[in-house]
Amino acid sequence: MPLFVENLTAHGHLHLEDETRRLLLQMSPATTLRLLAGERRTYRLHGLCHTQSTPLGGRIPIQTCMDPSAGHPQRPPMDLVGRCGGP
C-alpha cells in the first residue's frame, strides 16, 4: 500500500490530508478488501462467455485428443474453449 500511495501522490492522482494518509497506510489488507468488496462486485464480469451450451450440444459428435482416430477427414479440428477471461 505505501508504494501505491506514494506513486499516486507523486503523479498527482491522489490528494490526501496527513491524517487520512496515516490511516490509509495503517489499514490492514483484510480491512482494505472488506471495504472494497462492494466496489469489486460492481465490476465483476458475468454472463459474457460465448461458450454456453445449446440444444445441439449432445447431438454433435466431438472427438478429443484422447479418443482414437475416427478416420473421418471431413471433420475439421475445432477448439470450443472460450478465452474471454471469465471465471
Q: What is the dihedral of CA 52, 56, 57, 63, to 10 degrees?
A: -130
In a domain, residue 57? The reply is: no
Model pTM? 0.43
In a domain, residue 78? The reply is: no
Confidence at residue 43, expressed as pLDDT on a 0 to 100 scale = 78
Total count of domains within the chain: 1
In a domain, residue 48? The reply is: no
Q: Greater confidence, 39 or 55?
A: 39
In a domain, residue 49? The reply is: no
How would residue 72 be classed by pLDDT, with cut points 50, 70 and 90?
low
Least confident of 10-19, 28-37, 40-49, 64-73: 64-73
